[in-house]
Amino acid sequence: MTDHYDVIVLGAGPAGYVAAIRCAQLGMKTACVEKWLNKNDKPALGGTCLNVGCIPSKALLEATELYHEAKHGFDDLGITCSDIKLDVPKMIARKDKIVSELTGGIEGLFKSNGIDWLVGAGTVIADKHVRVKAHDGSTTEHSADNIIIATGSVPIELPITPLHGDAVVDSTGALEWQSVPGKVCVIGAGIIGLELGSVWRRLGSEVVLLEAMDAFLPMVDAQIAKDAKRTFTKQGLDIQLSARVTGSTVKGDKVIVNYENSDGAQTMEVDKLIVAVGRKAYVHGVLTDEAGVELDERGLIHVNDSCETNVPGIYAIGDVVRGPMLAHKGSEEGVMVAELIAGETSSVNYDVMPNVIYTHPEVAWVGKTEEQLKADGVDYQAGTFPFAASGRAKAKGDTGGLVKILRDKSTDRMLGAHVIGPSASELLGQSVLAMEFDATIEDIAHTIHAHPTLSEAMHEAALSADGRAIHIANRKRR
């Protein structure tokens, strides 16, 4: 028998589960197909983000930051800690508990919203039918007026450095080590490399990041990226640019990494190797030829601005389509598609997309970088404010970094905001809101910020873009 739904969603990551919940809220009969098995072989919702991505990495980043602070930072505050002990298996178990609570929470939300979870792998076949293959091999078929594909992404594997047990791992494996390795090499100084490299560095590993490109974090405003590189290097992350990995071999309990830099061929012996060279869209087994859905030249599902594919009524969202591979980007697309299907007006403002690297200090940004504005020939002014001049940052003992605001000289509108510093991820929120509301620097100048807070740094940086910051010397007067 074929069950018929208003909407079938494939994949229950942050794109798919949010789309399913919004569809159900709007009164549509909704099913979501999800095949994920967690490390105990139990079906789980939440996708990459909740199971092996955003949440577990942040759980370990939080715990390791506190450990490092207690070990190296408390003394300055007049707190003497002795006998600080590390229990890595307990730290990993705490991370697993957070994951299972959150993924269980999504299951609860599915139940309360009346969403059918079809457990297994879904394939879109002809005429908006979906075949679901359960884990026991049995299959069922379902039809829908609309299909939303949200099958996400998987780590890119390098054939020259094949994964090997817990010695050569991708991001998922690097969240599972039960003891602190002596020396870790990370291929790729991108976001995953920096976040997971930081986790193990804080616990005491020697960490080397080999990055093929000659630029560090090229997507980040250059001033902020320069500050980040200096700070991370001081923390002991050995970031080597123009270093292209050419292969790896596991020898006993060591990994031999071969790479090339400007001095020629190099070899390094490490205890563990993390391959963090990006992610690719996951479409394996998702579509049959009869479904007629087109991919683009990069293997992503091709969609228009409304996330509709070339087949009317079939949509695709999240990591499996163009745009940054970010959980909140997928979720917003999920909401938009659900509302469009329900006949409402909806859109995603891709120009105001927050980005965060959850290192310490955090790096967060929205909008244009100074380099992009220069290339676009925009008449802009930059304003900066260092956390060293923030009373709250001083009180916290966390004064590294700065806020940078970019302002359109003719319209006074905020074009970009860039932060490296304490709680940058949370601070960025007000700039995202300002840009979404099309606020001017004048609006921000009139907004009262509580004292003493880190958010005053945002206020001051915005004022500094207009030459009227109070707590630093302005280069230009109004």
Residues marked active site are found at: 451
Whether the upstream peptide bond of residue 452 has omega within 30° of 0, thus cis, is: yes
Distance CA 7, CA 341 (A): 9
Instruction: Please list, residue by residue across 368-382, b when 16 or more beta carbons sit within 10 angstroms of its beta carbon and e when fewer do.
Output: bbbeebeeeeeebbb
Residue 10 touching ligand FAD (CB under 6 A): yes
Q: Answer yes or no: are the C-beta atoms of 305 and 315 closer than 8 Å.
A: no
CB closer to ligand FAD, 56 vs 181:
56
Distance CA 130, CA 118 (A): 11
Q: Which stretch binds ligand FAD (CB under 6 A): 13-21, 66-74, 255-263, 432-440?
A: 13-21
CB closer to ligand NAD, 124 vs 220:
220
Maximum pairwise Cα distance, the chain: 75
Contact pattern for ligand NAD over residues 136 through 175, marking x by CB under 6 A: ----------------------------------------
Of all residues in this chain, which one has the CB nearest to ligand NAD in the complex? 190
Residue 197 touching ligand FAD (CB under 6 A): no
Q: Answer yes or no: are the C-beta atoms of 323 and 303 closer than 8 Å.
A: no
Place of tokens 């003891």: 179
Q: Which stretch binds ligand FAD (CB under 6 A): 45-53, 134-142, 230-238, 392-400?
A: 45-53
Which secondary-structure segment (H or E) carries 18? helix 16-25
Which secondary-structure segment (H or E) carries 420? strand 414-421
Question: With CB cut-offs between 5 and 8 Å by kind, which of ligand NAD, ligand FAD, none does residue 49 bind?
Answer: ligand FAD
Query: Minimal distance in Å, beta carbon 18 to ligand NAD?
Result: 16
CB closer to ligand NAD, 149 vs 327:
327
Question: With CB cut-offs between 5 and 8 Å by kind, which of ligand FAD, ligand NAD, none does residue 122 bind?
Answer: ligand FAD
- Strand bridging mode 168-169 / 362-367: unpaired
Residue 151 touching ligand FAD (CB under 6 A): yes
CA-nearest of 213, 218, 205 to 188 is: 213
Question: With CB cut-offs between 5 and 8 Å by kind, which of ligand NAD, ligand FAD, none does residue 357 bind?
Answer: ligand NAD
Residue 89 touching ligand FAD (CB under 6 A): no
Query: Minimal distance in Å, beta carbon 197 to ligand FAD?
Result: 12
What phi and psi, each to the nearest 5 degrees, are found at residue 428?
Answer: -60, -30
Residue 20 touching ligand FAD (CB under 6 A): no
Contact pattern for ligand NAD over residues 301 through 340, marking x by CB under 6 A: -----------------------xxx--------------
CB closer to ligand FAD, 36 vs 259:
36
Angle formed by the axes of helices 424-436 and 455-465, nearest 10°: 50
Of residues 173-192, which lie at the interface with ligand NAD (CB under 6 A)?
187-192
Single residue of 20, 23, 286, 457 touching ligand FAD by CB under 6 A: 286
Q: Pinpoint the alpha helices (H) of 176-280.
A: 191-202, 222-234
Question: With CB cut-offs between 5 and 8 Å by kind, which of ligand NAD, ligand FAD, none does residue 187 bind?
Answer: ligand NAD
Residue 195 touching ligand NAD (CB under 6 A): yes
Q: Pinpoint the alpha helices (H) of 165-266.
A: 191-202, 222-234
Single residue of 8, 9, 31, 54 touching ligand FAD by CB under 6 A: 54
Of residues 261-300, which lie at the interface with ligand NAD (CB under 6 A)?
276-279
Question: With CB cut-offs between 5 and 8 Å by kind, which of ligand FAD, ligand NAD, none does residue 274 bind?
Answer: none
Going from the C-alpha of 93 to that of each of 97, 177, 343, the distances in angstroms are 6, 11, 45
Q: For residue 360, what are its two tokens?
A: 């310490």
Distance CA 302, CA 323 (A): 11
Q: Which stretch binds ligand FAD (CB under 6 A): 7-15, 138-146, 161-169, 252-260?
A: 7-15
Residue 221 touching ligand NAD (CB under 6 A): no
**Residue-by-residue DSSP string for 300-358:** SBP--TTSB-SSTTEEE-GGGSSS---HHHHHHHHHHHHHHHTT------TTS--EEE-
Site of interaction with ligand NAD (CB under 6 A): 187-193, 195, 210-213, 244-245, 276-279, 324-326, 356-358
